[in-house]
Amino acid sequence: MSSSRPPCIRLASASPRRRDLLAAIDVSVEVRPVALDETPLPGEVPEEYVTRLAREKAAAGYEPGGMPTLGADTAVVRDGEILGKPVDAGHAADMLRRLAGRSHEVMTAVAVHGPAGLLVRCVTSRVTLRAIDEAEIAAYWRTGEPADKAGGYAIQGRGAVFVTHLEGSHSAVVGLPLCETADLLSRQGVPLWNHPVS
């Protein structure tokens, strides 16, 4: 994507993965992260949690009359429990042990605030990891990849070697469901198909 193209949306996220996914569908962005308290509310279920955060990010970053603003949030969920980002090597190892050899859910919500109001979608995918031994867990942490990833692994990186099955949206597991995102952007008047491939 040409770096000289003016942005057509504001991205209320510092995630390079979301920026890259939007670039893949030729959507140029102005990166404007917003700071929110991401603590789940009492009794809040995972789908409500990611949807609320996506909506709050999009709303916080939107300026009336300005560009549509996109907010998103992703959660790795095991047996109804949200697994956040690891705080250290021990926490990351514990999460991978809990996910290894079984299936879990990855929920990603995307919200776009613009002329059509605040629109939101949530996508749930199911990921299965193979058994992972302790040496692999330690070696994976040393790569640095798990440190800022929900659930302590990255399906788009080295963590892909642990994944045996994915049911749902690969891009949603990475951080942004592109099918649903494209629909929301179109409803906000953001053109997706009128730029030449560079």
Residue 58 is part of a domain; what is its CATH number?
Answer: 3.90.950.10
Dist. CA 25–CA 185, nearest whole Å: 11
Q: Supply the range of the domain harboring residue 89.
A: 9-187
Q: Is residue 40's pLDDT more than 90?
A: yes
Residue 159 lies in a domain: yes
**How many domains is the chain built from?**
1
pTM score of the predicted model? 0.91
Q: Which residues pair with 163 in a beta bridge?
A: 129
Which phi and psi (to 5°) does residue 55 adopt?
A: -65, -45
Is 109 a member of any domain? yes
Candidates 73, 88, 94, 148; catalytic one: 73
Does the residue 2 lie in any domain? no
**Total Cβ atoms within 10 A of residue 147:** 14
Do the domain assignments include residue 81?
yes
Strands 81-83 vs 69-78: parallel, antiparallel or unpaired: antiparallel
Element (H, E) at 189: none
87 lies in some domain: yes
- Residue 104 located in a structural domain: yes
The answer to whether residue 26 is catalytic is no
pLDDT per residue as tens digits for the range 111-169: 999 999 999 999 999 999 999 999 999 999 999 999 989 999 999 999 999 999 999 99
Alpha helices, DSSP H, located in 102-156: 134-142
Q: What is the mean pLDDT of residues 19-40?
A: 93
Yes or no: say if 96 and 144 are a contact pair by the CB < 8 Å rule: no
Q: Is 57 a member of any domain? A: yes
In a domain, 52, yes or no: yes
Average pLDDT score, the chain: 93
